[in-house]
Amino acid sequence: MSPEHHEERLIRWTNQTGRPILSVDYGKAPEYPYPFAIDECYDAYMLMYESNGKCLGMKGSSLSVILSGDSA
């Protein structure tokens, strides 16, 4: 499933926490075997961290986000 399948939950989390939600549509097995998904999520996190959120259009000096992804 993709982040679009979880849009209602993600929007609810955003509203409840006041934080941006980044849902990673990572490659899933069997086409992308373990640990591919973990590596993709880590890469997305590091990109956000190193740019301090600017890669997502965020402003400010601190990064406070929720990183989410679908799981079997």
Structural domain boundaries in the chain: 3-69
- The predicted structure's pLDDT at residue 70: 65
Task: For residue range 28-62, list pLDDT tens digits in order.
Answer: 889 999 999 899 989 988 998 899 888 888 887 77
Length of the chain as a residue count:
72
CB 69 within 8 A of CB 37: yes
Spatial CB neighbours of 55, under 8 Å, sequence gap ≥ 6: 47, 48
Q: What is the pTM of this model?
A: 0.71
- The predicted structure's pLDDT at residue 66: 74
